[in-house]
């Protein structure tokens, strides 16, 4: 019993090590992160300004509501980008720095290794998403959200993160298979997931086959839940329709993500790809 | 006041016997008919054509606990493949290997707790400091910050790393300095088997001497079993009790350096290598693929 507890403790310490490493790296690259944040703000603004543009060209719409809807889409897009980037870096950055062999030969289980990576990604991503939302909503546009339930929106984003991390684990195996092009496929996954999930529009406008895929995408429920919380002020109890699918997808996607990663790791070990040069 | 040597010994403990399997029956490392073949595209023969390259071909040897063994070989001879197989970073295509009775494939988690390595590339997060790199790496082995807070400065001092540069980015350090930090990283986790893959290649003479001196010190002050893969004949002879020659994936022999020289009636290991393979030791292998994979 005490041996098992000791092993569990060692695993938690190991996962903490991954968080610690990412904290060091974030501290060292903080100015680059700020530059990237500026890009994220600019990118989100280009989307949110579309509502103003439609109004300026004679379109009839509730500008405040449309801008808020687009902003939520932009923030979720950026958040998902951060999560996937961190998980893709599980392999890609380590390969670039040459530490990959030392990390993969350490006794830390892959589940806790990826969990540590996921926990840091969520913490960092939530902070960035909150800043992005505040900067765009209140500094650039002065949007009005009198009914917003920010706590409920935050909880929906956290719950959906579990599913996103599971999908990210599946994606993070790609740099193991293709060191050169694998990391870029993270963007493909991010775009594909969001295009079927109604990132800037209602899912109902999509073709039937895309709507079918939307029902199994966690981003669909995340976007719906956050919009209901921010625009309509719905609390968590009224959001059960979004929360239970997110929980189910999360329960399925994490083990699936670990399984896919372990298959990729086996492939890399078979073909000698767990090394610096690829 | 605590004696410095005592503090060092405490900082670099040897793992308890509970983690060392009774099945090992005295052997620290058992390698039996180990074989690794890499497959690669052969564009000369067509878009989908493939060819294979044998990196290790039926390698068999064993090491006693506390023994230092050197494996000599040219670039591409299979030294790094051997180290990576024992580090659980590769899957063999035949044969097997055990570390203290634990199979490197089936019981890779147990093996990982017993092994650490130093390779030719120091390999760190370059923007992070030596202390930060050691700190997070130790966590992967279950060491808490309370455990590493005192050990990291002691181990860095032990390998001759200046204390005032502990918080400096790795990118500002010389290769020799980085290699000392790599040695400290390996020792911090108290491995019972230490795999050294050309640890002094590319170092200036002084750094090389210091690293070799430190390896000698580990050998005498700890119970670690050391596998040293190198293409430095003098280093192999000076540091190891037995020397093996790995040539194109085949281990030609593994015995004390004097026995090798006697067997081939040679005055140096270089002459013995020539006698055994028919090739000069310094002559690079003419097969480019070997270096890529082995």
Let me know if B58 is exposed, middle or buried by CB neighbors in 10 A (0-12, 13-18, 19+): middle
Token pair for residue A273? 């790809």
Candidate from B27-36, B39-48, B79-88, B171-180 with smallest mean pLDDT: B39-48
Best of A11, A102, A262 to substitute, by most chain B Cβ atoms within 10 angstroms, is: A102
Give B229's strand partners.
B71, B197
Best of B50, B91, B136, B198 to substitute, by most chain A Cβ atoms within 10 angstroms, is: B136
Residue A198: strand, helix, or coil:
coil
Whether B264 and B253 have beta carbons less than 8 Å apart is answered as no
Q: Does A43 touch chain B (CB under 8 A)?
A: no
- Residue of B289 and B70 predicted with greater confidence: B70
Percentage of the residues of chain B whose pLDDT score is greater than 90 = 55
pLDDT of residue B76: 86
pLDDT of residue B22: 55
Let me know if A152 is exposed, middle or buried by CB neighbors in 10 A (0-12, 13-18, 19+): buried
Percentage of the residues of chain B whose pLDDT score is greater than 70 = 87
Report the mean per-residue pLDDT for chain B. Answer: 86
- Whole-number Cα distances in Å, A36 to A30, A82, A132: 10, 11, 12
pLDDT of residue B12: 45
Shortest distance between the Cα of B4 and any Cα of chain A, in A, equals: 29
Q: What is the DSSP letter of B287?
A: -
Interfacial A residues in 4-23 facing B (CB < 8 Å): 9-11, 13-14, 16-18, 20-21
Chain B residue nearest residue A101, CA to CA: B89
Q: What is the pLDDT of residues B167-224, one digit of tens each?
A: 999 999 998 899 999 999 998 988 999 999 998 888 888 888 888 888 888 887 777 8
Q: What Rg value do the Cα atoms of chain B yield, rounded?
A: 20
The ipTM, to two decimals, is: 0.89
Task: Count residue pairs from A and B with Cβ separation < 8 A.
Answer: 104
Shortest distance between the Cα of B91 and any Cα of chain A, in A, equals: 5
Q: Which segments of chain B does DSSP mark as H helices, in order?
A: 4-11, 79-86, 108-114, 130-139, 145-158, 175-188, 205-221, 233-239, 257-263, 269-277, 288-293
Report the mean per-residue pLDDT for chain A. Answer: 92
Q: What is the pLDDT of residues A76-121, one digit of tens each?
A: 999 999 999 888 887 888 888 889 999 999 999 999 999 999 999 9
Average pLDDT over residues B52-74: 93
Chain B residue nearest residue A100, CA to CA: B123
pLDDT of residue B19: 57
Neighbours of A245 (CB within 10 A): 20
Residue B44 pLDDT exceeds 90: no
Q: What is the pLDDT of residues A2-45, one digit of tens each?
A: 788 888 999 999 999 999 999 999 999 999 999 999 999 999 99
CB contact under 8 A, A269 and B185: no
pLDDT of residue A74: 96
Percentage of the residues of chain A whose pLDDT score is greater than 90 = 77
pLDDT of residue A185: 80
How far apart, in whole angstroms, are the C-alpha atoms of residue A170 and residue A76?
A: 19
Percentage of the residues of chain A whose pLDDT score is greater than 70 = 99
| Among A103, A109, A272, beta carbon nearest to B90 | A272
Average pLDDT over residues A243-247: 95
Token pair for residue A265? 């790791």
Q: Which of A254, A237, A52, A42 is nearest to A164 (CA)?
A: A254
B248 conformational bin, left if phi > 0, alpha if psi -120 to 50, beta if neither? left
Q: What is the pLDDT of residues B126-174, one digit of tens each?
A: 999 999 999 999 999 999 999 999 999 999 998 889 989 999 999 999 9
Average pLDDT over residues B282-293: 53
CB contact under 8 A, B113 and A107: yes
**Helix B175-188 with B145-158: angle, nearest 10 deg:** 130
Q: What is the pLDDT of residues B17-27, one digit of tens each?
A: 455 655 556 79
Residue B32 pLDDT exceeds 90: yes
CB contact under 8 A, B89 and A269: yes
The two beta strands, B193-197 and B225-230, are parallel
């Amino acid at each position: 019993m005490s041996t098992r507890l000791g092993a569990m403790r060692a695993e938690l310490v190991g996962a903490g090590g991954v968080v610690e490493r990412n904290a060091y790296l974030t501290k060292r690259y903080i100015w680059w992160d700020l530059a990237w944040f500026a890009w994220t703000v600019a990118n989100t603004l280009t989307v949110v300004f579309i509502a103003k543009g439609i109004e300026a060209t004679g379109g009839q719409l509730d500008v405040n509501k449309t801008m808020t809807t687009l902003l939520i889409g932009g923030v979720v897009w950026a958040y998902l980008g951060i999560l996937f980037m961190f998980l893709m870096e599980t392999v890609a950055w380590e390969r670039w720095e040459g530490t990959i062999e030392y990390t993969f030969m350490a006794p830390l289980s892959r589940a806790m290794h990826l969990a540590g990576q996921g926990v840091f990604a969520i913490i960092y991503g939530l902070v960035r998403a909150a800043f992005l939302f505040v900067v765009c909503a209140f500094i650039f546009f002065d949007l009005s959200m009198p009914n917003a339930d920010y706590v409920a929106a935050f909880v929906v984003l956290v719950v959906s993160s579990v599913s996103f991390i599971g999908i990210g684990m599946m994606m993070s195996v790609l740099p193991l298979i293709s060191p050169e092009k694998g990391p870029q496929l993270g963007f493909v996954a991010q775009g594909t997931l969001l295009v079927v999930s109604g990132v800037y529009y209602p899912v109902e406008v999509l073709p039937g086959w895309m709507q079918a895929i939307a029902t199994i995408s966690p981003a669909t429920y995340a976007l719906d839940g956050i919009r209901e919380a921010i625009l309509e002020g719905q609390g968590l109890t009224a959001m059960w329709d979004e929360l239970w699918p997110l929980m189910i997808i999360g329960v399925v996607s994490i083990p699936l993500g670990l399984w896919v990663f372990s298959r990729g790791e086996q492939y890399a070990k078979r073909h000698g790809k767990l090394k610096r040069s690829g | 006041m605590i004696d410095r040597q005592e503090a060092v010994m405490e900082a670099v403990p040897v793992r308890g016997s509970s983690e060392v399997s009774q099945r090992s029956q005295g052997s620290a490392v058992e390698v039996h008919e180990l074989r690794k073949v890499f497959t690669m595209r052969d564009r000369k023969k067509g878009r989908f054509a493939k060819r294979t390259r044998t990196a290790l071909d039926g390698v068999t040897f064993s090491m006693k606990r506390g023994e230092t063994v050197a494996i000599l070989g040219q670039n591409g001879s299979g030294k790094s493949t051997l180290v990576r197989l024992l580090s659980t970073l590769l899957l063999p295509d035949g044969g097997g290997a055990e570390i203290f009775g634990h199979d490197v494939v089936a019981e890779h988690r147990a093996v990982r707790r017993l092994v650490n390595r130093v390779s030719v590339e120091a390999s760190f997060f370059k923007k992070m400091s030596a202390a930060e790199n050691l700190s997070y790496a130790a966590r992967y082995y279950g060491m808490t910050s309370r455990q590493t807070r005192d050990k990291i400065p002691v181990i860095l001092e032990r390998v001759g790393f200046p204390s005032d540069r502990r918080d400096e980015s790795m990118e500002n350090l010389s290769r020799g300095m980085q290699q000392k930090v790599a040695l400290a990283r390996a020792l911090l986790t108290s491995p019972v088997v230490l795999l050294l893959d050309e640890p002094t290649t590319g170092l200036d003479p002084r750094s090389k001497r210091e690293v070799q001196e430190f390896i000698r010190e580990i050998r005498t002050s700890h119970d670690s079993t050391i596998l040293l893969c190198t293409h430095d004949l003098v280093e192999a002879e000076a540091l190891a009790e037995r020397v093996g020659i790995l040539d194109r994936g085949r281990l030609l022999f593994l015995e004390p350096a004097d026995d090798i020289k006697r067997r081939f009636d040679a005055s140096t290991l270089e002459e013995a290598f020539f006698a055994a393979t028919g090739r000069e030791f310094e002559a690079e292998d003419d097969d480019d693929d070997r270096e890529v994979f082995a």
